[in-house]
Chains A and B, each alone.
Chain A
Amino acid sequence: DAGITQSPRHKVTETGTPVTLRCHQTENHRYMYWYRQDPGHGLRLIHYSYGVKDTDKGEVSDGYSVSRSKTEDFLLTLESATSSQTSVYFCAISESGAAQYFGPGTRLTVT
């Protein structure tokens, strides 16, 4: 299995508070991705990175920002959490931009 960890694995937070989720890889892969998974929507791409300090938006990027200061870490920040951001968040990595390998997920609840 690819070495991908996500932290925290579960989080409950209140509306309006900032939240940062962390993805850490030990594979030295170039590409990293953040998705959210919601019933009836499959997985939707939030942001992705194609190198240190190189990031771009996905299809559902509003309300989210990312940073990648090291190859191994990709942070997802919700500046002011809303109830619509309650979801399961998955990080994924890829070496060649082809097949992706996923982390275990973070379940976020915004009350």
Chain B
Amino acid sequence: GNSVTQMEGPVTLSEEAFLTINCTYTATGYPSLFWYVQYPGEGLQLLLKATKADDKGSNKGFEATYRKETTSFHLEKGSVQVSDSAVYFCALNHGSSNTGKLIFGQGTTLQVKP
């Protein structure tokens, strides 16, 4: 079945360090891929998305490229800030009837220290 696997956390970085959070997926067909971010005590916010192979989603300095050959959608940021501390979820959209059902990875906690 369809699934999403994220790297284990927590990931702890110093401010201005480079960030990579790995995400790989298993899916039939051509799903859309998403990154969501959850700040403490809040709901999830859409960070970026990509809908087809080789698309690059970007937002707030974060980027991820849809790699069909490696079934990956890794999240990157060149220089993290303390305010980026949050839980990051990779997700894919599946469903033949375009119902928008999402499958989430387990989440990766990012801690950025000053």
A binds B: yes
| Contact surface of A with B, Cβ cutoff 8 Å | 4, 31, 33, 40-45, 48, 50, 56, 58, 90, 92, 94, 96-105
Q: Are A50 and B44 in contact (CB under 8 A)?
A: no
Chain A min CB distance to B21 (Å): 14
With an 8 A cutoff between CB atoms, is B17 at the interface?
no
A90 contacts across to B, CB distance below 8 A: 43-44
The verdict on B81 contacting chain A, using a C-beta distance below 8 Å, is no
Given A42-B105, A90-B43: A97 in contact with B89 (beta carbons within 8 A): no
Chain B: residues with Cβ within 8 Å of the partner, total of 23
Tell whether, in the assembled complex, residue A43 and residue B104 are in contact, meaning their CB atoms are under 8 Å apart: yes
CB distance B46 to A100 under 8 Å?
Answer: yes
Contact B43 A103 (CB under 8 A): yes
Partner of B93, one of A98, A101, A105: A98
Q: Which residue of A is nearest B42, CB measured?
A: A104
CA distance A91 to B99 in the complex (A): 15
For residue A90, give the distance in angstroms from its CB to the closest CB of chain B: 6
- B-chain residues with CB within 8 Å of residue A100 when the two chains form the complex: 46, 100, 102
Taking a contact as CB atoms under 8 Å apart, the answer to whether A101 and B46 are in contact is yes
A103 to B43 Cα, complex, angstroms = 6
Known contacts A98-B93, A103-B43, A104-B43, A42 near B107 by CB under 8 Å: yes
Contact of A99 among B4, B42, B46, B89 (CB under 8 A): B46
B residues within 8 A CB of A4?
Answer: 43
- In the bound complex, CA of A103 to CA of B41 (Å): 11
Asked if B89 and A43 make an inter-chain contact with CB atoms under 8 angstroms apart, the answer reads yes
B45 at the interface (CB under 8 A from A): yes
Q: Given A99-B34, A99-B49, do A45 and B100 touch, yes or no (CB 8 Å)? A: no
A70 and B95 alpha carbons, distance in the complex (Å): 24
CA distance in complex: A58, B108 (Å): 23
Q: Chain B residue with minimal CB distance to A49?
A: B99
For the complex, give the distance between the alpha carbons of A102 and B102 in Å.
12
By a CB distance below 8 angstroms, the chain B residues around A102 are 36, 43-45
A48 to B93: give the CA distance in the assembly, Å: 14
